[in-house]
Chain A
Amino acid sequence: MPRYKHCLFAMAIAVIMQAGLGFAQEKKEMPVTSDRPGHQESAREHHGSLPFDIQTPPLPEGMSLDDVLDHAANPPPDYFPTTIHDDRVYVFTLFEKLEYRIADDDDTPDHMGWEAQGWVGRDFNKFWWKHEGEAVFDGSDKGETETDLLYSRLVTPFWNFQMGVQYANEWNTDDYEDRWSGVIGFQGLAPYKFELDNALYVSEDGDVTFACEAEYDLRITQRIVLQPLAELHVAAQDISERDMGAGITDVNLDLRLRYEIKREFAPYIGIRYRFLVGETADIAEEAGADTTHVYFMAGIRFAF
């Protein structure tokens, strides 16, 4: 778009806003903070001192006024301690899900599922890890996990930009497969208080996938919380070794009801509706597998 169109557009917006504000304002012009000095600008513009006498200032013993004023113009001495520890490292671990899943069909074995994340860091920069997996314990030894190791930076008040690697593995009684991927993502709180976690993965084989998880805390009472959750996976191309077709591959719709005995310790029950989509569903059907599953869950959510 040519530059002048931008200008016209901006002017139109400005005119509309002016008109709107005109109604809202008093006759007197309202000052705008952006036109006014902060303490550093104000100090730069200020010269000279006021020539009037004041009562004897309170001076420390053995120091002249000039000593004190000189001292004041310098950073604190080296041997002084830090006044405010506002840049500490904090550590946080949250097991959002640690649950036993019972399938409503007889073909699917019951299994353990878990999902945890945590971070170590200061306010803006953190090491952030995420780990999830499931494993069957009775009968066949079978399971899979995904572990993300990320650098995370708070880029806006509600959003973290994250970058790092993922290690994923899958095992069966006589088989073990794993892969590394590069990850880039945004995690944060969207308007209406939806917790969102979006990440793009590029595997070592060059396969591109995308994962999106959204959850919401609906408070029924101060301690009972209903949490709907939607998780969606997308593949940018067919990935035959992972039985995935291009497009949306699978969707989880969860509902968990927890009781916060403490904020950081809450048992819950839940239900999951999981279905495969598109080509991925076709692949499963051809292999004779179910494309939809319903699970009943019970578990605990805890943080430390």
Chain B
Amino acid sequence: MKDYCNQTPKVRQAFSSKLSLPYTMTRRDFLAVTGSAVMASSLWPLGQAWGADSDIAPAGNIGELNATGAGGIDLYLERRNLLIGGRSGRAIAINGSIPGPVIRMTEGKEALIRVHNLLPESTSIHWHGILLPFTMDGVPGISFPGISSGETFTYRFPVRQNGTYWYHSHTGLQEQLGHYGQLVVAPAGPDPVAYDVAHSIVLSDWTFEDPQRVLWKLKTMEGYYNFQRPTLANIQDQMQATGMTLKEVVDKRLAWDRMRMDPTDIADITGATYSYLINGQTAQENPVFTARPGQRVRLRFANASTMTFYDIRIPGLPMTVVQADGQNIQPVETDELRIAVAETYDVVVTIPDTQSSDWAYTLFAETMDRSGYARATIAPRPGMAAAVPGLRRRPMLTMADMGMMMDKDMDMKHNGHMGTKNKKDDMDMQHHMPDHGGKRRKLPTQNLPNRIRHGSAEHGPASITMARTAYRRLDYPGAGLGNDGWRVLTYSQLRALERPYGRRAPTREFDLHLTGNMHKYIWGFDGKKWSESCMIRFQYKERLRINMINDTMMSHPIHLHGMWMDLYAGGSLDDNPRKHTVIVQPAELLTVDIFADAPGQWAFHCHLLYHMEAGMFRTVAVVKDLKGGPIHAKV
């Protein structure tokens, strides 16, 4: 395959000169200027002494910077001891804190960000979900060479969108050490979302272990962090929780054992090592977001975790979801939402009118595997708290997660949600359309196949293909959700607020299998790791469809850089939501359409950090045409 992929690098020389760094500084230069620069950009809310390692500051001291304001902003990356949950941890701090400052931008202006690398190693910042020139995308090895130790890299790009996003390192496992923050882009025009006060909420996971050590454990000892496995001691518990008899429980467990699978393998890394954080603070530290009765409070959630899906709810307050991945959606009221790693959601909650000053609401963010939670409080003043719910029972994977769904259920779902009202549109899609290269058929945009059978190909030793059938799960809220008597957001409820630009039926499609060997911790697409892969080529300006088929038993948040993925959410072409990150659940067939309007090379990967580092990653090349041969991803 290697030969197949290799091509003569024609423009390397021409290009390399264009990628030289704008300017460099020595470390000594830095130390001379940082003090004043930092204070000048007013990013220390409490004006703390910087660089003084002796007195350890707590994490979560987040500042705010305006990157489209005059003069731009400076970000300083350094290794620093911070108190996380009261314990000292060696973090990568951005301007002295984890998370880094909330970076604000205004749509239509130019962002200017100087990143100063005070780390002893190379680093990078990726602006997650932002459309920009590929050289500004911040992926070492794809967009640029990275930012070497002691260097400064200047990011400069026009801001062409608005909404809530985030940023993070794209170098190695640095993200695990706190190298992330929220990014909020104000709309150029009026905001369709009405609110009185807004709060930035960065969810993350923290470990005091060395991330490389964590990866080594995952690679060498399966289930290392799972302390909720099936045991003899919890048979009784499982019988009570599920209403099954002893024989049924034993049979079920034997069925999983026969497949060499663990139904409790919901999260690779758990509360056994993680502290779960909201804005750098643990549940015990209880960060408080203030509001007044009657106010509409906009909560901007970004999940900056490396491995943790959170289930968010505010007992007593329904949430109106107004934005998903920075894109306005038709408002949906719900009681709970699952936010995957790298997704962002904006919700608005209205504080009920009251004369009392003693009200408080708990913002409860439970991890998907129920091994822990992050928590904050919405209240009129700091120091307040409300009752904290207990953790629910950890979910177990079901036969449906292996693609063994009853046909009865399938038909009901089909009739109930897809309907047949769009038969005519569907017919229209069958029309042929002439093109340069011959007849091209526009692909249907509604009533897509509900399921797909896996062929006999097994994708080799790097893949344990569990699901023999993959099917649409847009209505399925996910493992462990939907049985509590309250509403849970699903992808089928996401509808774009306005018809986004460039919507049309795609003319090309391909299948992409999400594959992995959880036993050996090898992850990839179509059974190949990144280092073994060729780039996925998009043709510039084409409308392209990718059918993602999850062969594994885990949910993967799949992220495309540089371009939107228009999620087929069961609705019409006009209102499918735009996403930068989509959850593909076990045994799910999930379809996205992409408008390939961003020339260059981009990253496309599972945003679970350790899956990514284990190979679940592709380079996407948006090229002029597809006549040339495949391009190998690795030099």
Q: Across the interface, which residues of B come within 8 angstroms of A90, CB to CB?
A: 216, 219-220
Q: How far is the CB of A123 from chain B (nearest CB, A)?
A: 5
- Can you sample 14 A-B contacts with CB below 8 Å? A24-B407, A30-B453, A35-B455, A44-B626, A48-B435, A48-B438, A62-B18, A72-B621, A80-B142, A81-B141, A84-B615, A84-B617, A124-B461, A157-B462
Report the bound CA distance from A191 to B524 in whole Å: 24
Q: Is the CB of B230 within 8 A of A219?
A: yes
Of A51-59, A106-114, A228-236, A290-298, the one contacting chain B is A51-59
* A42 sits at the interface (CB 8 A): yes
Report the bound CA distance from A24 to B231 in whole Å: 34
A76: nearest chain-B partner, CB-CB: B635
Q: Is the CB of B10 within 8 A of A77?
A: no
* B33 sits at the interface (CB 8 A): no
Given A71-B601, A74-B12, A157-B517, A86 contacting B530 (CB threshold 8 A): yes
Of B84-92, B378-386, B506-514, the one contacting chain A is B506-514
Q: Across the interface, which residues of B come within 8 angstroms of A48, CB to CB?
A: 435-438, 440, 625
B6: nearest chain-A partner, CB-CB: A75
* B529 sits at the interface (CB 8 A): yes
* A67 sits at the interface (CB 8 A): yes
Q: Map CB proximity to A onto B346-358 as digits: 1 under 8 Å, 0 otherwise.
A: 0000000000000
Q: Is the CB of A61 within 8 A of B522?
A: no
Given A71-B601, A82-B141, A83-B530, A39 contacting B512 (CB threshold 8 A): yes
Report the bound CA distance from A192 to B131 in whole Å: 48
Q: Is the CB of A123 within 8 A of B522?
A: yes
Q: Is the CB of A52 within 8 A of B541?
A: yes
* A70 sits at the interface (CB 8 A): yes
Across the A-B interface, give the 8 residue pairs with the lowest CB-CB distance, nearest first: A34-B455, A47-B437, A48-B437, A83-B141, A48-B436, A86-B615, A42-B510, A60-B135
8 Å CB contacts to A: which residues of B150-208? 156-158, 160, 172
8 Å CB contacts to B: which residues of A5-62? 24-26, 28, 30-52, 54-55, 57-62
Q: What is the predominant secondary structure among interface residues of chain A facing chain B?
A: loop
* A287 sits at the interface (CB 8 A): no
* A156 sits at the interface (CB 8 A): yes
Q: Is the CB of B615 within 8 A of A74?
A: no
Q: Is the CB of A222 within 8 A of B229?
A: yes
Q: How far is the CB of B411 from chain A (nearest CB, A)?
A: 7
Q: How far is the CB of A222 from chain B (nearest CB, A)?
A: 5
Report the bound CA distance from A26 to B438 in whole Å: 34
Given A58-B133, A80-B141, A30 contacting B452 (CB threshold 8 A): yes
Q: Is the CB of B531 within 8 A of A87?
A: yes
Q: Across the interface, which residues of B come within 8 angstroms of A84, CB to CB?
A: 141, 529-531, 612-613, 615, 617
Q: How far is the CB of A127 from chain B (nearest CB, A)?
A: 15
Q: Which of A24, A46, A57, A157 meets B461, CB within 8 Å? A: A157
Of B49-57, B252-260, B318-326, B327-335, the one contacting chain A is B252-260
Q: A57-B597, A72-B623, A80-B145 are in contact. List 6 more A-B contacts (CB 8 A).
A: A26-B450, A57-B599, A59-B599, A75-B635, A84-B530, A86-B613
* A69 sits at the interface (CB 8 A): yes
Q: Is the CB of B537 within 8 A of A43?
A: yes
Q: How far is the CB of A21 from chain B (nearest CB, A)?
A: 9
Given A73-B621, A157-B464, A67 contacting B142 (CB threshold 8 A): no
Q: Across the interface, which residues of A come within 8 angstroms of B136, CB to CB?
A: 60
Given A31-B453, A70-B11, A50 contacting B541 (CB threshold 8 A): yes
A73: nearest chain-B partner, CB-CB: B623
Given A55-B501, A192-B257, A222-B231, A26 contacting B407 (CB threshold 8 A): yes
A32: nearest chain-B partner, CB-CB: B453
8 Å CB contacts to B: which residues of A65-124? 65-87, 90, 92, 123-124
Report the bound CA distance from A123 to B532 in whole Å: 12
Q: Which of A33, A79, A190, A218 meets B513, CB within 8 Å? A: A33
Q: Across the interface, which residues of A come within 8 angstroms of B613, CB to CB?
A: 84-86
* B224 sits at the interface (CB 8 A): yes
| Most central of B14, B615, B617, B634 by chain A CB within 10 Å | B634
Q: Which of B135, B469, B510, B601 meets A39, CB within 8 Å? A: B510
Q: Which of A73, A85, A193, A218 meets B624, CB within 8 Å? A: A73
Given A54-B502, A192-B258, A73 contacting B540 (CB threshold 8 A): no
Q: Across the interface, which residues of A come within 8 angstroms of B18, CB to CB?
A: 60, 62-63, 67
Q: Across the interface, which residues of A come within 8 angstroms of B221, CB to CB?
A: 263-264, 303
Report the bound CA distance from A189 to B260 in whole Å: 8
Q: Across the interface, which residues of B come within 8 angstroms of A264, CB to CB?
A: 221
Report the bound CA distance from A54 to B233 in whole Å: 62
Q: Which of B132, B455, B603, B623 meets A33, CB within 8 Å? A: B455
8 Å CB contacts to A: which residues of B488-511? 501-502, 504, 507-511
Q: Across the interface, which residues of A come within 8 angstroms of B438, CB to CB?
A: 47-48
Q: How far is the CB of A301 from chain B (nearest CB, A)?
A: 12
A40: nearest chain-B partner, CB-CB: B630
Q: Is the CB of B619 within 8 A of A55?
A: no
Q: Is the CB of A46 within 8 A of B635?
A: no
* B9 sits at the interface (CB 8 A): yes
Report the bound CA distance from A156 to B224 in whole Å: 22
Given A63-B18, A219-B229, A156 contacting B461 (CB threshold 8 A): yes
A30: nearest chain-B partner, CB-CB: B453
Q: Is the CB of A69 within 8 A of B537?
A: no
* A155 sits at the interface (CB 8 A): yes
Report the bound CA distance from A195 to B141 in whole Å: 40
Given A38-B526, A82-B634, A157 contacting B231 (CB threshold 8 A): no
A83: nearest chain-B partner, CB-CB: B141
Q: Across the interface, which residues of B come within 8 angstroms of A80, CB to CB?
A: 140-142, 144-145, 635
* B122 sits at the interface (CB 8 A): yes
Q: Is the CB of B410 within 8 A of A26?
A: yes
* A154 sits at the interface (CB 8 A): yes
* B232 sits at the interface (CB 8 A): yes
Q: Is the CB of A72 within 8 A of B520?
A: no
Q: Across the interface, which residues of A come within 8 angstroms of B158, CB to CB?
A: 58
Q: How far is the CB of B519 from chain A (nearest CB, A)?
A: 6
* A158 sits at the interface (CB 8 A): yes
* B539 sits at the interface (CB 8 A): yes
Q: Is the CB of A42 within 8 A of B509?
A: yes
Q: Is the CB of B600 within 8 A of A221?
A: no
Q: Across the interface, which residues of A come within 8 angstroms of B630, CB to CB?
A: 40, 43
* A1 sits at the interface (CB 8 A): no
8 Å CB contacts to A: which residues of B1-52? 6-7, 9-12, 14-16, 18-19
Q: Is the CB of B452 within 8 A of A33?
A: yes
Report the bound CA distance from A86 to B633 in whole Å: 13
* A220 sits at the interface (CB 8 A): yes
Q: How far is the CB of A260 from chain B (nearest CB, A)?
A: 10
Q: Is the CB of B12 within 8 A of A78?
A: yes
Q: Across the interface, which residues of A come within 8 angstroms of B537, CB to CB?
A: 39, 43
Q: Which of B14, B456, B509, B534 meets A67, CB within 8 Å? A: B14
* B454 sits at the interface (CB 8 A): yes
Given A78-B635, A157-B461, A40 contacting B455 (CB threshold 8 A): no
Q: How far is the CB of A287 from chain B (nearest CB, A)?
A: 43
* B451 sits at the interface (CB 8 A): yes
Q: How far is the CB of B5 from chain A (nearest CB, A)?
A: 8
Q: How far is the CB of A25 from chain B (nearest CB, A)?
A: 8
Q: Which of A38, A40, A85, A157 meets B463, CB within 8 Å? A: A157
* B239 sits at the interface (CB 8 A): no
Report the bound CA distance from A16 to B506 in whole Å: 38
Q: Across the interface, which residues of A come within 8 angstroms of B227, CB to CB?
A: 222-223
Q: Is the CB of B510 within 8 A of A41?
A: yes
Report the bound CA distance from A26 to B597 in whole Å: 38
Q: Across the interface, which residues of B come within 8 angstroms of A218, CB to CB?
A: 232
Report the bound CA distance from A85 to B230 in whole Å: 33
Q: How far is the CB of A266 from chain B (nearest CB, A)?
A: 12
Q: Across the interface, which residues of A come within 8 angstroms of B621, CB to CB?
A: 72-73
Q: Across the interface, which residues of B come within 8 angstroms of A60, CB to CB?
A: 18, 133-136, 600
Q: How far is the CB of A148 from chain B (nearest CB, A)?
A: 19
8 Å CB contacts to A: which residues of B505-557? 507-513, 517, 519-520, 522, 524, 526, 529-531, 534, 536-537, 539-543, 547, 549
